[in-house]
Structure 1
Amino acid sequence: MIAGRFQIRKFWNSSTEARGGRLEAAKTEFRPLASHLRSLMKYNIFFIFLFFALPARGFVETDVTRVVEASEEVVILKTNQKISQYNIPAEVFKKALPYPIRELDMEGDLDKGQRLIAQVKRDKPRLIFAIGDKATFLAKKEFSETPVIFSMVLNWNKLKISENKNITGISLDVPPESQFTQLKLVAPRVSRVGVIYSPEASQELIERAKEISSGLGLGLVSYQVHSEKEVKKAWDKIKDQIDALWMVADPIVITTNSFEFLQKQTLRQKIPFMGYSESFVKAGALLSVSPDYETIGSQAASIAAQILEDKQKPWDIQVAEPIGTVITLNKNTAKKLGLLLDDRILSLIDRTFE
Structure 2
Amino acid sequence: MLKRRYLVYEILLCCLIGALYRSAHLAYAETPQKKILVLNSDASVEKYRIPQEEFQQSLGMPVILVDLAERKWTVHDLEELFYDESPDLVYCIGTRAYLMAYKYVGKTPIVFSSILNWLRLPITNRRYGVSNELHAGMEMMLFRHIFPEISKIGVLYSQKYTEEWFQAANEQAQELGLTIIGHRIEKKEPLDVALTQLLEKKVDAFWLIPDPAVISNSNDLHVILERCDTQKIPVFSYNEAFTQYGVVLSISVDTPTIGRQAAALATSVLAKEDLTELVQFPAGSYITLNLKKVKEYHLHYNEDALGSVNTILE
TM-score by length of 1: 0.71
Q: Within 2, Cα distance between the matches of 1:181 and 1:113?
A: 45
Letter in 1 for 2:181: V
CA contact (8 A) 2:153 2:205 kept: yes
Alpha-carbon spacing, 1:285–1:137, altered in 2? closer, same or farther (3 Å): farther
Instruction: State the 1:341 CA deviation.
Output: 5.7
Q: Within 2, Cα distance between the matches of 1:228 and 1:349?
A: 38
SS state at 2:190 partner: helix
CA contact (8 A) 2:156 2:182 kept: yes
Instruction: State the 1:114 CA deviation.
Output: 7.4
Instruction: State the 1:120 CA deviation.
Output: 4.0
- 2:135 is aligned, of 175, 185, 198, to 175
Query: Counterpart of 2:156?
Result: 196
Instruction: State the 1:119 CA deviation.
Output: 2.6
Higher relative contact order (CA 8 A, sep 6+): 2
Q: Within 2, Cα distance between the matches of 1:185 and 1:303?
A: 31
- Unaligned stretches of 5+ residues in structure 2: 1-28
CA contact (8 A) 1:72 1:100 kept: no
Query: Counterpart of 2:73?
Result: 111
Please tell me whether residue 222 in structure 1 is matched to residue 182 in structure 2: yes
Deviations 1:192-243 (A, max 9, x none): 1111111232222111111111222211111111236332222211213211
Q: Within 1, Cα distance between the matches of 2:230 and 2:146?
A: 19
Q: Within 2, Cα distance between the matches of 1:349 and 1:146?
A: 41
Deviations 1:261-305 (A, max 9, x none): 111111111111111222333443221222222322222122212
Q: Within 1, Cα distance between the matches of 2:273 and 2:251?
A: 34
Q: Within 1, Cα distance between the matches of 2:312 and 2:48?
A: 22
Query: Counterpart of 1:247?
Result: 208
Larger-gyration structure (1/2) = 1
SS state at 1:229 partner: coil
Query: Counterpart of 1:156?
Result: 118
Query: Counterpart of 1:59?
Result: none
Q: Within 2, Cα distance between the matches of 1:82 and 1:200?
A: 27
Q: Within 1, Cα distance between the matches of 2:157 and 2:226?
A: 19
CA contact (8 A) 2:228 2:235 kept: yes
CA contact (8 A) 2:113 2:130 kept: yes
Q: Within 2, Cα distance between the matches of 1:121 and 1:226?
A: 43
CA contact (8 A) 1:131 1:152 kept: yes
Query: Counterpart of 1:270?
Result: 232
Instruction: State the 1:159 CA deviation.
Output: 2.2
Letter in 2 for 1:135: A
Query: Counterpart of 2:289?
Result: 329
Letter in 1 for 2:250: S
Q: Within 2, Cα distance between the matches of 1:317 and 1:342?
A: 34
Q: Within 2, Cα distance between the matches of 1:335 and 1:228?
A: 37
From the two aligned structures, give the one with the greater helix fraction.
1
The sequence identity of aligned pairs, in percent, is 28
Letter in 2 for 1:94: Q
Please tell me whether residue 147 in structure 1 is matched to residue 124 in structure 2: no
Alpha-carbon spacing, 1:142–1:262, altered in 2? closer, same or farther (3 Å): same
Please tell me whether residue 132 in structure 1 is matched to residue 94 in structure 2: yes
SS state at 1:322 partner: coil
Query: Counterpart of 2:4?
Result: none
Q: How does 1:236-315 map to 2 (within 5 A)?
A: 236-241=196-201, 242-256=203-217, 257-310=219-272
Instruction: State the 1:112 CA deviation.
Output: 7.3
SS state at 1:178 partner: helix
Alpha-carbon spacing, 1:117–1:188, altered in 2? closer, same or farther (3 Å): farther
CA contact (8 A) 1:178 1:289 kept: no
SS state at 1:111 partner: coil
Query: Counterpart of 2:11?
Result: none
Q: Within 2, Cα distance between the matches of 1:118 and 1:311?
A: 30
- 2:166 is aligned, of 203, 206, 210, to 206
Alpha-carbon spacing, 1:350–1:118, altered in 2? closer, same or farther (3 Å): farther
Alpha-carbon spacing, 1:336–1:82, altered in 2? closer, same or farther (3 Å): farther
Question: 327-336 or 150-159, which moves further after superposition?
Answer: 327-336
- 1:96 is aligned, of 52, 58, 68, to 58
Q: Within 1, Cα distance between the matches of 2:76 and 2:185?
A: 34
Alpha-carbon spacing, 1:310–1:85, altered in 2? closer, same or farther (3 Å): same
Letter in 2 for 1:167: R
Letter in 2 for 1:190: I
- 1:350 is aligned, of 295, 310, 314, to 310
CA contact (8 A) 2:250 2:288 kept: yes
Query: Counterpart of 1:36?
Result: none
Give the number of aligned pairs. Answer: 284
Alpha-carbon spacing, 1:299–1:238, altered in 2? closer, same or farther (3 Å): same
Q: How does 1:3-42 map to 2 (within 5 A)?
A: none
SS state at 2:131 partner: coil
